Structure 1
Amino acid sequence: MTEAAVKASPPAPPRRLLHPDPVVRRLSWMVLVNTFGNGLFMTVSALYFTRVAGLGVGQVGLGLTVAGICGVAASIPAGRAADRWGSRRVLIVLNLAEAAGMASYCLVHSFAVFLPVVCVETAVDRGAAAVRNALYADALPKETRVPGRAYLRAVTNVGIGAGATLAALALQADTRGAYLAVILANAASFLAVGAMLPRVPVAVRDDPAPVNPSLNPSADPDKHVPEAARRSALRDLPYLAVTALNAVLAVQFAVLNVGIPLWVVRETDAPRAVVAAAMIVNTVLVVAFQVRATRTTRDLGSAARACRTSGLLLAASCLAVAATHGLPAATAAAVLLAAVVLETAGEVLSQAGGWLLSYDLADPAATGAYQGVFNAGAAAGMMLGPAVVTTAAIGHGPLGWAVPAALFALSGAAMVPVVRWAERCR
């Protein structure tokens, strides 16, 4: 190539790890700090409660189940609070409450103390998740909202992975001091997020597109939403139907986190290391493909079809797991990892489709209330998921996997006509 040709050629665009949108970058730092702390705590929590706090495994399981119910119940009022007082303002308060609740785990020494602490902490955490989703709607314009959330989900996986890696040091030390240091570090991460939130620009809720307050000083980003608009989320039957179908798809997380580990140990000859490999494969693929998956969800119709495809992929994943029963160790491990690839493909599609549906089918004047409802549905699906998987699949062998497979395929297929109904009723 001649020198003139080189000069005439446009420079190749630099490959970016950081998002080009400054608002998404601010949100991503906030998410990274938050999920890093969560990754720390998630890795050590079970051992801390059983080895240090002195709780039985059954007590921990019962406490987490009751706390899950509290989390589902907290999502809707938290979303309505975001509409009333502003998503950013409410999220700051909830992060301060989460920091206090997390630090309170250091005081747990009996089930009587553990139960109220874990219930309050989980309720605040689920409420914060609903408000955070409303914040994304306030901070990001409609055309970049779903791709932005996909980028943030990739950051979430990076943060959790980094936190889990560092938490391995506490697990190796296996001392009360090491576990308490991890808990307090997570509490500090909530304080850090609370300090970062005021720098995230938010919009006037009922404007057609987010408005930067610095460009429109008269705009009130914490403008009150009419009470009727806040209540409409619980009376919007098409939206509730979409939420219920998404809740069924959310059972998928129990397949990866509960079903596959138990299945590997109880029903296959695959090496136990394949469980860790499955988690790594899932994390890497989500980071690599979640943003790309949003390119298939341009409107309500394509989002519904993405959920339909997701249901079929999740069903195929369940059947692949069932097929590993009785296979030689190496073959079983290979098939299980293939099942994880199918599950992850379904996961990224269902997340991309669900995000768009949750925002675009909502009343724009009550985003917080609608996100509260949608988040409550997803939380309910994740709470019931372990019971569905263990009762059906683990309890009944290979044929049992047909139950979650059918649930995924049917709920995904139903999403298309239900979304059409919701679109007609908007």
Structure 2
Amino acid sequence: MTSMVAERRLLHPDPVVRRLSWMVLVNTVGNGMFMTASALYFTRFVGLGAGQVGLGLTVAGVCGVAASIPAGRAADRWGSRRVLRTLCVVQAAGMTAYVLVHSFAAFLAVVCLEVIADRAASTARNTLYADALPADTRVTARAYLRAVTNVGIGAGAALAAIALQVDTRPAYLAVILGDAVTYLAVAVILRWIPATPARVHARTGESRRGALSDRPYLLVTALNGVLSLQFAVLTIGIPLWIVRETAAPHALVGATLLLNTVLVVVFQVRAARAARDVRQAARACRIAGLLLAGYCLVVAVSHGLPAVPASVVLLLAVALGTAGEVLSQAGAWLLSYDLAADHATGAYQGVFNAGTSAGLMIAPVVVTGTAIDHAPWGWAVPAALFALSGLAMVPAVRWAARRRTLAAAHR
């Protein structure tokens, strides 16, 4: 009886969200497997240098940014579910192609295809959430799905650890092909997600012009892109900082990532309650920006401390940063949907997703070029960026909401 009650608490009461959660879980288990093992596979068994892998990922990231906007238009025109199913098949094919890669040129071609499909799929998936979920429950549902995402990535990383321990080419190929299978499984699961009709306005080009000419929405998108730099702080800045600039044990790198994962799973749904309308979402982003600024400054404090105090300070910093992360994500979800034109959800999601992708693309350069290369004072630069973007979000959202109200009044 106790296990049944616990299961009911973990499963979402909405059947559509439950189906989406299975889709997300399967997808992120595969992603977690690939992210954990891919770098070692390419450098140890394909024979690429670390610099070549980094260059390929950078070029692919640029291509991925460009893919988001046309993917949004396609979702409007042909339906988000159909587009996402097609992209899942493309991703499965691209992932399978990695096993045939034996040169940098082949790697570059495949990784560009895979990242383009991934960013396009992200836009189509976000549009699908808007199509399949009621507006009043969309943010809390997405918070639940993000918690599922972290669970899936953690499970995938644990499975990939087996391949890392075996450390043979067949073991790594099993991880890659396993990820390819998860994309095909997602394409099958999508059959049970409610279908939505295409938006006829997209055929006239109205969605394209509206999304790219909506200056307030573009400003909100840009500010959210700056807030997206936070993910590089955790995945690149903190590991490099621990190894190069502190006396903390190297094992703390894994502990910080684990702490972040657990806190997101526990608190993301609760944080979504702070963003029930555009005003609350803007305030959530403002608070998030200040928390992320504090996060950076607390990390800087660990410089020069003995091992134990440095470890404690860094864990506290990650907890502070995770609080900013869950608030910024909840706010961004609501703003991306509620400030968009109703007739062009896909086009607007494409623009918003492109802004996030651009932020993620430049984030490693920003974090390493400031906080790491100019330690410890360099942490003041990302701290200022987070604080200013968070503070600017409130007037930007006010402008966007006013423009949307005026546009609705003229229809």
TM-score (ref. length: structure 2)? 0.96
Q: In structure 2, which of residues 89, 96, 102 is the aligned counterpart of residue 96 of structure 1?
A: 89
For residues 180-232 of structure 1, give each alpha carbon's deviation from its aligned partner in whole angstroms, at most 9, with x where no partner exists: 000000000000000111210134xxxxxxxxxxxxxxxxx234333212331
Match of 1:69 among 62, 78, 99: 62
User: Of residues 197, 201, 213 in structure 2, which corresponds to 1:225?
Assistant: 201
Distance 2:194 2:168 in 1: 42
AA at the equivalent of 1:317: Y
- State the match for 2:407 in structure 1: none
Task: Determine whether 1:398 maps to 2:376.
Answer: yes
Aligned mates of 1:26, 1:188 — CA distance in 2: 18
Equivalences, count: 398
Equivalence map 1:23-422=2 (5 Å)? 23-203=16-196, 221-226=197-202, 227-422=205-400
> How many Å separate the matches in 2 of 1:89 and 1:79?
12
CA–CA distance in 2 between the matches of 1:189 and 1:296?
Answer: 33
**For 1:167-188, what per-residue CA distance to the aligned partner results, in whole angstroms no more than 9, with x for missing partners?**
1000001100000000000000
1:286-333 per-position Cα deviation (integer Å, ceiling 9, x unaligned): 000000001011111100000000000000000011000100100000
User: Match for 1:338: what amino acid?
Assistant: L
Distance (whole Å) between structure 2 residues aligned to residue 201 and residue 195 of structure 1: 13
CA-to-aligned-CA distance 1:367-399 (integer Å, 9 cap, x gap): 000000000100110111110000000000110
Q: 1:213 is matched with which residue?
A: none
Corresponding residue SS for 2:10: coil
CA distance in 2: counterparts of 1:14 and 1:185, whole angstroms: 27
Q: Of the two, which has the highest radius of gyration?
A: 1
Q: Secondary structure of the residue that 1:297 maps to in structure 2? A: coil
Q: Tell me, yes or no, if the aligned pair for 1:85 and 1:224 is still in contact at 8 Å.
A: no
Question: Which consecutive unaligned segments of at least 5 residues does structure 2 have?
Answer: 405-411
Residue in 2 that maps onto 1:216: none
Q: Distance in 1 between matches of 2:70 and 2:284?
A: 30
Note the aligned Cα RMSD (angstroms). 1.1
Percent identity between the two aligned chains: 71
**1:194/1:71 CA distance change after superposition, 3 Å:** same
Specify the code of the residue in structure 2 equivalent to 1:168: A
C-alpha contact 1:82 1:134 (8 A) present in aligned 2? yes
**Residues of 2 paired with 1:13 and 1:328: CA distance?**
42
Distance in 2 (alpha carbons) for counterparts of 1:140 and 1:395: 45
CA distance in 2, matches of 1:126, 1:224: 24
Look up the equivalent residue of 1:55 and give its one-letter code: L
1-side partners of 2:195 and 2:394: how far apart?
32
For 1:16, what is the secondary structure of its paired residue?
helix
Contact 1:231 1:369 in 2 (8 A): no
Give the residue type in structure 2 aligned to 1:393: A
Per-residue deviation, 1:13? 11
Name the aligned partner's letter for residue 305 of structure 1: R
Q: Structure 1 stretches (4+) deviating beyond 4 angstroms?
A: 12-15
- Give 1:234 shift: 0.5
How far apart, CA to CA, are the structure 1 residues paired with 2:8 and 2:109?
48
SS in 2 for 1:397: coil
State the AA in 2 paired with 1:186: D
What is residue 208 of structure 1 aligned with on the other side?
Answer: none
- Structure 1 unaligned regions, length at least 5: 1-11, 204-220
Q: Distance in 1 between matches of 2:296 and 2:8?
A: 37
